Amino acid sequence: MVASFGPVALAAVIATVFGLLPLAISALLAPRRPNVVKNSPYECGVETIGPTNVQFKSHFYLYALIFVIFDVEALFLFPWAVTYTQLGLYALIEVGIFIGLLLVGYAYAWRKGALEWV
Amino acid sequence: MLIPEGALIAVTFYVLGVLAIAGGVGLILARRIFHSALFLVLTLVSVAGVFVILGADFLAAVQVLVYVGAITVLLLFGIMLTPQTVQLPDIASPGQAISGALVAAALFVVTVAVVATTAWPRAAPLPLADQPTTNTIAFNLFNTYVLPFEIASILLLVAMIGAIVIAREE
């Protein structure tokens, strides 16, 4: 079983190297001649006004909460998806009820405007 | 195979262990709380890898989905929604550092003592080590434990509606 995770480990290693290697090459090769213009922070080319670390509206927390709910839902669907071909129709109906119940909550969130971007 | 599988697993375990500890140390030492959260992700992912080595593939998936996904998102949102004016002091007073080191050392001693004195069932082979645990869990979940499964759905529904009601009141 562990051996089947070999590709996962390989992907993790490649992803890490892929991210770190350009940074390392840049740190080794790039000439460092900093000046005022180079060191200035920028955002789309225009200097920022005021502090950039701002406090976000607490409304955004709803997205996090709803994400967490559906994350846990995906967790329950994961074993079903893995063994779908062996489980058959009965499990499909069970999962249908499971998702149906959560869709009620989704509809509620939608109706209450919890998903509206403000 | 060029390298024996046991050696490969041992090396992977130690690499994951070092990464997990490095994440934990970075979490404590990072000056910015956001960086602490990112170090926490490193530790949690490494522990997921350890779960894979132990043959608990479903637990590894849970670790990635719930801890790396959901818990970290909640943490990051918590940081985002907190006023960022709080700047941590460079280092706490020497007395605090000493007492912290003492507590950490005491905890370390207790942990090592417990690990050393526990009779680990090492001789018995892991019952599920060679086959994926997810299939077994799926069969139990969708045959024996159907009702708890559906109740979990209702629990999630209640949690979602409750969260919306509480969050929208303000």
Query: Hey, which of B3-12, B35-44, B70-79 has the most confident mean pLDDT?
Result: B35-44
Of B43, B66, B82, which residue constitutes the final position of a domain?
B82
Mean pLDDT of B120-148: 75
* Chain centre distance of CA B71: 10
pLDDT confidence of residue B22: 95
How many angstroms separate the Cα of B4 from the Cα of each of A94, B11, B124, B146? Answer: 44, 11, 22, 42
The pTM is what?
A: 0.79
Query: Domain total for chain B?
Result: 2
B125 and chain A: CB distance < 8 Å anywhere?
A: no
Q: How confident is residue B128, by pLDDT bands cut at 50, 70 and 90?
A: very low
Nearest neighbour of B134 by CB, restricted to A53, A76, A79:
A79
ipTM tops 0.90: no
How many angstroms separate the Cα of A20 from the Cα of each of A12, A27, B41? Answer: 12, 11, 17
**Residue range A57-76, pLDDT digits in tens:** 777 778 888 888 889 899 98
**Residue range B53-90, pLDDT digits in tens:** 888 888 998 999 999 988 998 888 888 887 765 555 65
Angle at B5 between CA B122 and CA B2, to 5 degrees: 155
**Residue range A21-37, pLDDT digits in tens:** 999 999 999 888 888 87
Instruction: Identify whether B91 is part of a domain.
Output: no
CB spacing of A55 vs B84 below 8 angstroms: yes
Does the structure show a pLDDT above 80 at B18?
yes
Q: Is the dihedral of CA A7, A11, A17, A20 positive or negative?
A: negative
Instruction: Identify whether B166 is part of a domain.
Output: yes
In chain A, where the domains are located: 2-47, 58-112
Instruction: Identify whether B115 is part of a domain.
Output: no
Residues of A in contact with B66 (CB under 8 A): 71-72, 75
Does the structure show a pLDDT above 80 at B52?
yes
DSSP class of residue B13 equals H
Nearest neighbour of A108 by CB, restricted to B139, B161, B170:
B161
Q: How confident is residue B3, by pLDDT bands cut at 50, 70 and 90?
A: confident
Which residue shows structure tokens 């979990």?
B152
Are residues B10 and B78 located together in one domain of the fold? yes
Domain span holding position B46: 1-82
Residues of A in contact with B156 (CB under 8 A): 69, 72-73, 101-102, 105
pLDDT confidence of residue A34: 84
What is the nearest CA distance from A74 to chain B, expressed in angstroms? 8
Does the structure show a pLDDT above 70 at B93?
yes
Nearest neighbour of B74 by CB, restricted to A68, A78, A109:
A68
**Residue range A43-52, pLDDT digits in tens:** 666 666 777 6
How many angstroms separate the Cα of B90 from the Cα of each of A6, A11, B29, B32, B104? Answer: 42, 38, 11, 11, 20
Instruction: Identify whether B102 is part of a domain.
Output: no
Of B82, B104, B126, which residue constitutes the final position of a domain?
B82
Does the structure show a pLDDT above 90 at B110?
yes
Are residues B8 and B78 located together in one domain of the fold? yes
CB spacing of B168 vs A2 below 8 angstroms: no
Are residues B140 and B67 located together in one domain of the fold? no
pLDDT confidence of residue B87: 59
Q: How confident is residue B25, by pLDDT bands cut at 50, 70 and 90?
A: very high
> Best mutation site among A4, A54, A69 for testing chain B: the one with the most B CBs within 10 Å?
A69
Q: Supply the CATH number for residue B57's domain.
A: 1.20.120.1200
Rounded to whole angstroms, how far apart are CA atoms A67 and B45? 19
Q: In the predicted model, what is the mean pLDDT of chain A?
A: 84
